[in-house]
């Protein structure tokens, strides 16, 4: 039982005891008063009647008439005239009358009254005595009416007192509830400040809680700054702040394996030629400034375009990956023009070679750099700021499941996607997420569509870019959730599906999904929804609303592909997440890189302080997996986990 309830019951008990005591005392006092009044009435009436009877000089007829007249004028139980020897001379007795008061009340409050007795005389001769006894039933009636009126009054006063006590306790309880909510929010990473109450003792409690929350928030912010420093140390070049070669390659490999994104992309390699000779001729400071200028020109693209990747591959080489088709040549030429204007200011003889390629995203990472190196080598055979470009062949464009559909154009593709959704020609792939003991935590379930009847099931890389352009992602995601709920109902295994950030922009998407989940309450507790890190960065309020609508139904919410972008989420502690999956670019190579391992540990500490589970995705190397177990990550997924657990 809660403290407030105990206090309220104590107050209520005291009030009731006081009221019952007051009622008992009042009842006994009234009973005693009525009993005394009846006794006095009996005695006085007997004396008055005896005086009147004594004046009749013993005339029995007149005396009987007087006794009858007296009896008829009052509420008497009996009036008796007895002769001097005690024999009955005359009597008037009322029929038995039951009191209106309950029998238990009559038994509980007995009224005992003796009859009034007076002597009769005729001159000096005694002629007997008269006894007068009033009817006590009327006294019980009056006592009962008095008690009921008093009980109603006391009951009303008790109700008012109880209401006042409840309101007072509720006022006292509100700051305590706020303190509890503040503490729970702190456990979930929320740093709310409470308004000071008017009760002095509770003011001190609230001030202490607010001070503690402020200190924890400062510690969290300091931890975030430390994590940012670790990220720069682990992933970034010391001079330019760009991604190192290792991290750039990991980011690019992760980007190429994701479902979202266009069919083709571009890679631009930039090389500041004759770096050693420039250091000798211009001096190290001037060359460093030239490198910084070149890096700023390259970094401008990731700052403006979502999904762009930039990195410094070595002392003189830089790379820029563009997640868009047919823009590599134009971008390389724009960079060359900008550098041609800015770099000569640092000294003569500065030359930059640029090689750009446009390839299908399905191309292997080695092929991207092999093609780009060839083009860059051609550019180096020429003097100045030179751009060379190559467009690779694309046997199967992303978004084209068949040559016929490709020939018909985008509208035909949209019709195919709509037909597949309408006819539910879809299935969920299943890849395991394992914990340290090898237990299956949940299944990752990307959606595949059968775009043509009797055709193959196509992965999202084939059709998702067009679905995004056609604003069909909401329908796609609702179908994926429906299939996941059905599968959970069949085998009881937890599953998670990917939700496209574009779906959040559909005003009715969350409401429709809530209705869908509401129809399967048992399965909803084993359903997870994952959004890319970019959703938290760009659509935080929509993500927050989605969590408010679905998490009370038992649905778990997580972020995938998480990395450096988490630092851009100012209110990550308010996002209402259950878990975060670290991107492959963050966790790959962690076994052989102490700085990278320190960064992962820092992210784990920060995310755990927000009460989040932390998983790692895209893992291939068992050594990396072991290093992550040592960092105490909660689970891993990727090719390694698939090989261990097998596809379900």
Can you give the pLDDT at residue 397?
40
Nearest to 368 by CA among 355, 385, 382: 355
Can you give the pLDDT at residue 511?
93
Pick 219 or 343 by higher pLDDT: 343
User: For 358, which DSSP code?
Assistant: E
Phi, psi dihedral angles at 147 (to 5 degrees): -65, -40
Tens-digit pLDDT profile for residues 131-143? 988 888 888 888 8
Which tokens hold the place of 67? 């006794």
Can you give the pLDDT at residue 404?
37
Rounded Cα distance, 160 and 47, in Å: 50
Tens-digit pLDDT profile for residues 477-489? 999 999 999 999 9
Q: What is the band of 156 on the pLDDT scale with cuts at 50, 70, 90?
A: confident
Q: How many CA atoms lie within 13 A of 509 on its CB side?
A: 24
Do the strands 579-582 and 613-616 form a parallel or antiparallel pair, or are they unpaired? Answer: parallel
Helices (H) and strands (E) in the chain, counts: 22, 20
DSSP string computed for 398-446: TT-SSHHHHHH-HHHHHHHHHHHHHTT-EEE--EEEE-TTS-EEEEE--
Can you give the pLDDT at residue 189?
57
Rounded Cα distance, 418 and 472, in Å: 8
Q: What domains are defined for the chain? A: 3-160 (3.30.450), 239-391 (3.30.70.270), 403-645 (3.20.20.450)
Which tokens hold the place of 316? 């003189």
C-beta separation of 581 from 615 below 8 A: yes
* Chain center to CA of 171: 25
CB atoms within 10 A of CB 466: 19
Rounded Cα distance, 551 and 556, in Å: 6
Global pTM?
A: 0.65
- Strand 125-134's sheet: what is its strand order? 88-93, 76-82, 125-134, 116-122
Q: What is the band of 220 on the pLDDT scale with cuts at 50, 70, 90?
A: low
Q: In which region does residue 201 sit, left (phi positive, over 0), alpha (psi from -120 to 50) or beta (all else)?
A: alpha
Q: Which residues have CB under 8 Å from 162's CB, separation 6+?
A: 11, 12, 15
Q: What is the band of 582 on the pLDDT scale with cuts at 50, 70, 90?
A: very high
């Amino acid at each position: 039982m809660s403290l407030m309830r105990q206090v309220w019951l104590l107050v209520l008990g005291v009030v009731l005891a006081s009221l019952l005591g007051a009622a008992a005392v009042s009842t006994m006092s009234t009973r005693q008063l009525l009993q005394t009044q009846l006794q006095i009435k009996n005695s006085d009436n007997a004396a008055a009647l005896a005086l009147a009877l004594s004046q009749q000089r013993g005339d029995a007829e007149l005396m009987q008439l007087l006794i009858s007249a007296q009896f008829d004028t009052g509420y008497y139980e009996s009036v008796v005239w007895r002769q001097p020897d005690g024999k009955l001379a005359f009597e008037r007795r009322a029929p038995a009358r039951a009191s209106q008061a309950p029998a238990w009340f009559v038994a509980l409050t007995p009224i005992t009254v003796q009859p009034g007795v007076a002597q009769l005389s005729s001159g000096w001769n005694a002629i007997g005595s008269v006894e007068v006894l009033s009817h006590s039933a009327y006294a019980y009636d009056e006592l009962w009416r008095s008690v009921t009126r008093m009980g109603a009054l006391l009951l009303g006063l008790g109700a008012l007192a109880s209401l006042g006590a409840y309101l007072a306790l509720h006022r006292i309880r509100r700051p305590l509830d706020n303190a509890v909510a503040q503490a729970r929010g702190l456990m979930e990473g929320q740093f709310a400040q409470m308004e000071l109450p008017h009760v002095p003792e509770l003011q001190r409690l609230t001030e202490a809680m607010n001070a503690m929350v402020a200190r924890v928030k400062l510690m969290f912010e300091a931890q975030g700054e430390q994590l940012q420093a670790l990220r720069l140390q682990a992933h970034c070049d010391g001079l330019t702040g760009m991604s190192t070669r290792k991290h750039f390659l990991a980011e690019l490999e992760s980007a190429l394996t994701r479902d979202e994104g266009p069919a083709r992309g571009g890679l631009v390699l930039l090389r500041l030629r004759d770096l050693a000779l420039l250091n000798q001729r211009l001096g190290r400071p001037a060359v460093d400034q030239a490198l910084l200028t070149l890096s700023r020109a390259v970094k401008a693209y990731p700052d403006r375009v979502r999904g762009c990747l930039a990195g410094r591959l070595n002392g003189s080489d830089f790379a820029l990956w563009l997640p868009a088709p047919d823009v590599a040549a134009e971008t390389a030429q724009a960079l060359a023009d900008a550098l041609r204007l800015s770099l000569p200011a640092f000294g003569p003889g500065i030359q930059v070679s640029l090689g750009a390629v446009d390839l299908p995203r399905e191309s292997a990472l080695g092929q991207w750099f092999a093609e780009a190196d060839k083009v860059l080598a051609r550019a180096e055979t020429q003097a100045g700021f030179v751009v060379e470009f190559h467009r690779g062949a694309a046997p199967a464009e992303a978004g084209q499941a068949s040559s016929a559909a490709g020939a018909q154009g985008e509208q035909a593709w949209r019709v195919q996607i709509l037909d597949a959704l309408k006819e539910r020609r879809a299935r969920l792939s299943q890849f395991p997420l394992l914990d340290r003991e090898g237990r299956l935590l949940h299944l990752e379930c990307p959606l595949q569509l059968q775009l043509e009847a009797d055709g193959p099931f196509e992965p999202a890389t084939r059709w998702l870019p067009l679905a995004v352009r056609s604003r069909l992602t909401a329908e796609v995601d609702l179908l994926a959730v429906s299939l996941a709920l059905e599968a959970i109902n069949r085998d009881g295994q937890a599953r998670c599906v990917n939700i496209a950030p574009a779906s959040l922009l559909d005003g009715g998407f969350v409401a429709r999904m809530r209705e869908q989940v509401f129809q399967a309450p048992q399965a909803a507790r084993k359903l997870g929804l994952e959004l890319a890190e970019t959703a938290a960065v760009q659509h935080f309020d929509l993500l927050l609303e989605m969590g408010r609508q679905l998490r009370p139904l038992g649905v778990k919410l997580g972020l995938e592909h998480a990395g450096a972008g988490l630092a851009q989420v100012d209110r990550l502690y308010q996002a209402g997440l259950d878990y975060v999956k670290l991107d492959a670019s963050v966790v790959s190579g962690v076994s052989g890189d102490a700085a990278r391992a320190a960064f992962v540990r820092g992210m784990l500490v920060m995310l755990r302080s927000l009460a989040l589970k932390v998983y790692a995705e895209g893992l291939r190397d068992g050594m990396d997996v072991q290093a992550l177990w040592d960092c105490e990550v909660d689970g891993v997924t990727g090719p390694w986990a698939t090989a261990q657990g097998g596809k379900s």
